[in-house]
Structure 1
Amino acid sequence: MADRSYVYEPVSTEAPVKTQAHNMEQGQLWRQYIIAGVANIATIALGFALGWTSPVNLKLLDPNDTPLSRPVTNDEISWIGSLLSVGAMFGPFIGGFLASKIGRRWSILLSSVPLIVGFVLVVAVQNVAMIYAGRVFWGLAVGMLYTVLPMYCAEIATDDTRGALGSFLQLFVVLGFLLVYGVGPFVPYFTLQYVGIAVVAVFCVLFFFMPETPMYYLNQDDVDSAAKCLQIIRGKSRAGVQAELDKMAAEVKAANEKTANLSDVFRGANFKAFYISCALVAAQQLCGINAVLFYMATIFETAGASLDSAIATIIIGAVQVGASAVTPLVVDRLGRRMLLLISCTGTTIGLGLLGMYFILDTNGNAVVDSMRFLPILALVLFIVTYCVGLGPLPWAIMGELFPIEVKALASPIATAFCWMLSFLVTRYFNPIADAVGMGVAFLIFGVCCIIAFFFTFFMVPETKGKSFQEIQEMLAGKTSPSKSEKM
C-alpha cells in the first residue's frame, strides 16, 4: 500500500502525484468568492426586508394603496419599522445554537424558513398585527444570518481574503435595498412581496450545493469530510490542502481543550474581543443608519427635496451598492482600522450637513430654498462612507476576533446587542425627532460617530493579513502591532 503521507488523491480525476509537487499548487481563488457570494444571496433577501419599509410605509399611509382596511397611524409605522429588530435580538441565539449543532451550512439554509414565513404573513395580511408578525419573523432570519454568515465566510477564507469575503455581507444587503427601492414604488403592494419570495427561492436552490466549512467538520472529529470541503473550497488536491488542514486541526484541537462557558466570554483576551465587537456594532447602529434607511422616503418628503422621493431613494440605493463594492477590493490592502476611521469621519460630516439643513428649515431660514439639493448630497456622503467601513467591517472584525471555543457564545450576544440598539433607534427616532426636531436628532447621531472615531483610533487592533492564532496573541498582548497597524 502507498505511503499516505507521500501520495494523495487529488480533487480531479488525474493520477495521484507527489506531495512535493502539490506544495506548489496555486489553487483556484475564485472558488472562495463564488461560495461566499452564493451564501450571501440570503442577505439580498435581508436587505429587501430591511429596506421594505421605505416604499411600503407610503403605501400603508395611502388610503388608495394600502392592503389594509384603513391607513396606518404614525405610531404603527414606528412599530412596523422597529419590530424587525426585536426578532433580530433572538435570531442570533437560534443561529449560534444551530451553527454549533448542525453546522454553518444548514443553519444558513434554515434561515430561509422565517424569511418565507414573514413573506407569507405580509402577503396574507388582514390587519396590522400580521405585518408586525411578519417583521418579527424577518428579524429572526436577520439575527440568524448576521451571526452565522460572518462565521461561515471567515472559516472558508484564506488569511489574505478574509476581509474581502467578510465585506460581502454589506454588499449583498445593499443590493437587497436597491432591489426594494427600485421595484417597491412602482408595483402594487402584493407584487413586491412575490419579488422577495423569488430571491429566497433562488438562494435556497443555489446554496444547497455549497460546502460546509472545514472548521465545523474538524470540531466533529471528521477529518476526511473537512479535507474534502477544503479541497472544494481551495480547488486543490488533498496534498495541496494538507498543510492548511493540519494548521486548522491544531487550532481546533487547542480550542477543544478549553471548555468554554459564558463566563469565559468576559475574561482576558476574550473580553477584549467582546467589548471591541460590541462597541463597533454600537457605532454601526448609533450612527443612525437604520433610521435613515427605514425612513428614507419620509426624510425626502419632509425635506421637500426637488427630486421625487422614489427616484432619490433609488439613487441612494445605487450609491450604497457602488460604495459597498469598493470595500472588498481595498479592505485587505488598506486594513480595517483605516477604513473605519475614514467611515466615521465621513458619516460625521454627512450627518452634520443633514442636521444643519433640517435646523435651518425648521427655523424658516430663507437660504433653505436654494439648498434643496443638500439632503441628497449629505445622504450620499453618509451612505458612501458608512458602506466602506461602519457597515461591513464590524461583522468582518467580529468573525476574526473571537477564538473558536467562545465564538458560538460571544457572537450571538454581540449580535443581539446590535439589534437591541437597532430597535431603540428605529422605534424612538420619530418620537425623538418630533420632540427635538429632525435636525437635532441627526446631530446626536453625528456625535456618536465622533466617539466611534476615537474608540477605533485608540482601541481597535488591525487584523489585516493575520491568522486567527496571531489575532488571539495580539489581543492577549503577546505581540506588538507594527507601525503600519497603528496608523
Structure 2
Amino acid sequence: MAKDDMHTPLITQTIDRNHESNKSSNFMVYLTTFVAVCGSFAFGSCAGYSSPTQSSITQDLNLSLAEYSLFGSILTFGAMIGAITSGPIADFVGRQGALRISSIFCLTGWLAIYLAKGIVVLDMGRLATGYAMGVFSYVVPVFIAEIAPKNLRGRLTAMNQLMICAAVSFSFVIGTMVSWRILALIGMVPCIILVTGLFFIPESPRWLAKTGNQKEFQIALRKLRGRDADISEEADEIQDYIEMLEKLPKTKLLDLFQRRYSRSIIIGVGLMVCQQFGGINGICFYTSSIFESAGFPGDLGTIIYALVQIVITALNALFLDKAGRKPLLVLSATGLVLGCLTTALSFYLKTYEIGLSAVPALAVTGILVYIVSFSAGMGAIPWVIMSEVFPINIKGAAGSLATLVNWFGAWVVSFTFNFLLSWSSYGTFIIYAAVYAGAIVFVTKIVPETKGRTLEQIQAAINR
C-alpha cells in the first residue's frame, strides 16, 4: 500500500471530526448574530414609525404639516451624526460597547416620544432614535462579519437587512392597531433584548486582538468556534494580520485617501452610492402615492410591496454564501434597471394618454420588479461587502465614511423625489435606471468576489 493511501483514512476521519465540531460549534455564532440583529430590528422600527402614526400624532399634538415633516426628516440628520461617530466609537469601546451606547440613545429617544406633549420633546426623541440608527447601520454588519466563520458570513450579515425590512413592515401593520405612544413603547423591546443579550455573547475577537487583549481574544474565539474546535490556524491568521497592521502608522480621516486604501474605499463607498442614488428611499417612502398616481389602490400596493420585500430578502440571506456577492449584485442591478424602465413606461403612457388601461398593471409590475431586484442583492450586499473590504486599522473611519455617504444619499433621494416626480414622472425613473446601469459596470469592473474568503484573505487580494 502506498504511503499516501495509508494516511487517507486518517485524514478523512480528521476532516469529518472537524466538520462535526464546526457544525456543533455554530450555536454561539447564531446566538451572537441574533443579539446583534436586534439592533437591526430597532433600526427598522425607527424607520417605519412615522408612516402609520402621521395622522394620530398630528391630531393629538396639533402639529402642522411642516412640523410633522420636520419630525419625520430629523431622523435622517440624527442618523448622519450617528454614522460619523459610529466608527470611532466602535474602535474605542468595542463593537459591544457601541451597541450598548446606541441602544441607550434609542431607548431614551423612544421614551421621549412616548412622554412628548409638544414638538420639542418629540423632535429630540426622534433625533436620538436617528442617532441610534446611524450607529446600528455600521456596527451590526461589522460585528457579525468579524465573529462569523467565512462559510456563514454572507448569510448572517445579510440578516441585518432582513431584520430591517421585517421591522419596517411590523411597524406599519402594528401601527394601524395601537396608538402612537404604545408603538413607541413597542419600539423599545428590541433594544432591551439587545442590551440583555450582550451579557451572554463574546466581543469581536478581531477587535480584541487589535487592542492587544490576547487572553480575551483567545477566550472569545474559542467561545465562538466551540470548545473542541481547532482555532489555532484562524487565530494565527488574525494575529499575523494584526501584527502587520501594527507596523503601519495610526490612521486619520485624511489617511483614507492614501493610495494603499483607495480600492477598499472606492468599493465600500461606491456601493453605497449605487444603493441609495437609484431612488430606493424615495420609492419606499412614497410607494402608496406612486401606486395611486398610476391608478392602483395604494394600501393594497403597499402591503404587497412589504410582503415581497421580506420574502426576497430572506431568500437572499439563504443563497448569499452559495451564489456569491458579485453575481447577485449584477443580477440585482439588472432587475432594477428593468423595474425602473417599466415604471417609467407606465408614467410615459399616462402622461401622453396612450394605452391608459395598461398603466396600472405596468406601474405595479415595475415597482414589484424593482423591490424584488433590490431585495435580491442591492439592499443587503453593499453592507456585507462594506464589512469585509476595509482593513481593520481603518475600519472605523472608513465605515463611518461609507455609512455617512449612505445616509446622505438617503436624505438627498427622499428630499428630491417629489420635486423630480413633479418635473417628470417618467424622467425620474429613467434617471434611476441610469444610476443602476452604472452600478452594473461598477460591480463588474471594480467589486471583488468575497465569498468563501477570510477577512484577511480578502485584504490580501484587494491590496496585492
2:61: which partner in 1? 68
1:147: which partner in 2? 138
1:133 to 113, 119, 124: 124
Query: Residue 341 of structure 2 aligns to which amino acid in structure 1?
Result: G
C-alpha RMSD of matched pairs (Å): 2.5
What's the offset of the Cα at 1:22?
8.3
1:12: which partner in 2? none
2:461 to 452, 467, 474: 474
Distance 2:123 2:328 in 1: 36
Q: Look up the SS of the partner of 2:60 in the other structure.
A: coil
Q: Does 1:240 align with 2:235?
A: no
1:354 to 337, 343, 351: 343
Verify the 8 A CA contact 1:347 1:385 in the aligned structure 2: yes
2:6: which partner in 1? none
Query: Residue 44 of structure 1 aligns to which amino acid in structure 2?
Result: F
1:316 to 295, 305, 310: 305
Q: Does 1:437 align with 2:424?
A: yes
2:86: which partner in 1? 95
1:251: which partner in 2? 241
2:273 to 269, 275, 282: 282
Once the two structures are overlaid, the 10-residue window that deviates more, 342-351 or 195-204, is: 195-204
Query: Residue 43 of structure 2 aligns to which amino acid in structure 1?
Result: L
Identity %: 28
Once the two structures are overlaid, the 10-residue window that deviates more, 121-130 or 350-359, is: 121-130
1:104: which partner in 2? 95
Judged with a 3 Å threshold, the aligned counterparts in structure 2 of structure 1 residues 186 and 392 are, in CA distance, closer, same or farther, namely: same
Distance 1:355 1:58 in 2: 31
What's the offset of the Cα at 1:439?
3.2
What's the offset of the Cα at 1:323?
0.8
Query: Residue 382 of structure 1 aligns to which amino acid in structure 2?
Result: Y
Distance 2:360 2:18 in 1: 61
Q: Does 1:294 align with 2:285?
A: yes
Distance 2:63 2:131 in 1: 28
Verify the 8 A CA contact 2:333 2:439 in the aligned structure 1: yes
1:54 to 51, 74, 96: 51
Q: Deviations over 1:113-152 (max 9, x none)?
A: 2212322333233444544433322221121112211221
2:187 to 196, 206, 226: 196
What's the offset of the Cα at 1:407?
0.9
Query: Residue 28 of structure 1 aligns to which amino acid in structure 2?
Result: S
What's the offset of the Cα at 1:461?
1.2
What's the offset of the Cα at 1:33?
2.5
Q: Under a length normalisation based on structure 2, what TM-score does the superposition of the two structures give?
A: 0.89
Judged with a 3 Å threshold, the aligned counterparts in structure 2 of structure 1 residues 441 and 264 are, in CA distance, closer, same or farther, namely: same
Verify the 8 A CA contact 2:31 2:201 in the aligned structure 1: no
Verify the 8 A CA contact 1:67 1:189 in the aligned structure 2: no
Q: Under a length normalisation based on structure 1, what TM-score does the superposition of the two structures give?
A: 0.85
Query: Residue 403 of structure 1 aligns to which amino acid in structure 2?
Result: P
Give unmatched runs, 5+ long, in structure 2: 1-13
Distance 2:18 2:153 in 1: 22
Distance 1:53 1:362 in 2: 31
Give unmatched runs, 5+ long, in structure 1: 1-18, 479-487
Verify the 8 A CA contact 1:88 1:142 in the aligned structure 2: yes
2:396: which partner in 1? 408
Q: Look up the SS of the partner of 1:103 in the other structure.
A: helix
Query: Residue 60 of structure 2 aligns to which amino acid in structure 1?
Result: P
What's the offset of the Cα at 1:278?
0.9
Distance 1:55 1:296 in 2: 13
1:460 to 441, 447, 451: 447
1:187: which partner in 2? 178
Judged with a 3 Å threshold, the aligned counterparts in structure 2 of structure 1 residues 444 and 186 are, in CA distance, closer, same or farther, namely: farther
What's the offset of the Cα at 1:418?
1.3
Judged with a 3 Å threshold, the aligned counterparts in structure 2 of structure 1 residues 457 and 23 are, in CA distance, closer, same or farther, namely: closer
Verify the 8 A CA contact 1:53 1:294 in the aligned structure 2: no
Any residues of structure 2 matched to 1:207-218 within 5 Å, and which?
207-218=198-209
Q: Look up the SS of the partner of 1:111 in the other structure.
A: helix
Distance 2:127 2:425 in 1: 27
Verify the 8 A CA contact 2:158 2:384 in the aligned structure 1: yes
Distance 1:462 1:197 in 2: 38
| Structure with the largest fraction of helix | 2
Distance 1:20 1:47 in 2: 41
What's the offset of the Cα at 1:419?
0.8
Q: Does 1:330 align with 2:328?
A: no
Verify the 8 A CA contact 1:83 1:423 in the aligned structure 2: no
Q: Does 1:396 align with 2:384?
A: yes
Q: Look up the SS of the partner of 1:462 in the other structure.
A: coil
Once the two structures are overlaid, the 10-residue window that deviates more, 19-28 or 108-117, is: 19-28
Q: Deviations over 1:182-231 (max 9, x none)?
A: 21233332232222122322332233322111112212322221121112
Q: Deviations over 1:317-375 (max 9, x none)?
A: 22111111112221112111101011111111112222332343344x26334543443
Verify the 8 A CA contact 1:55 1:181 in the aligned structure 2: yes
Distance 1:429 1:20 in 2: 55
Distance 1:451 1:257 in 2: 38
Aligned residues: 448
2:3: which partner in 1? none
Distance 2:301 2:308 in 1: 11
Distance 1:285 1:404 in 2: 25
2:10: which partner in 1? none
Q: Does 1:421 align with 2:373?
A: no
Distance 1:470 1:199 in 2: 34
Distance 1:57 1:28 in 2: 46
What's the offset of the Cα at 1:171?
0.8
Distance 1:440 1:121 in 2: 41
Distance 1:220 1:318 in 2: 43
Distance 1:376 1:77 in 2: 29
Q: Look up the SS of the partner of 1:403 in the other structure.
A: coil
Verify the 8 A CA contact 2:63 2:119 in the aligned structure 1: no
What's the offset of the Cα at 1:23?
6.4
What's the offset of the Cα at 1:20?
12
Q: Deviations over 1:355-412 (max 9, x none)?
A: 332343344x263345434433322221111112111111111111111111112111
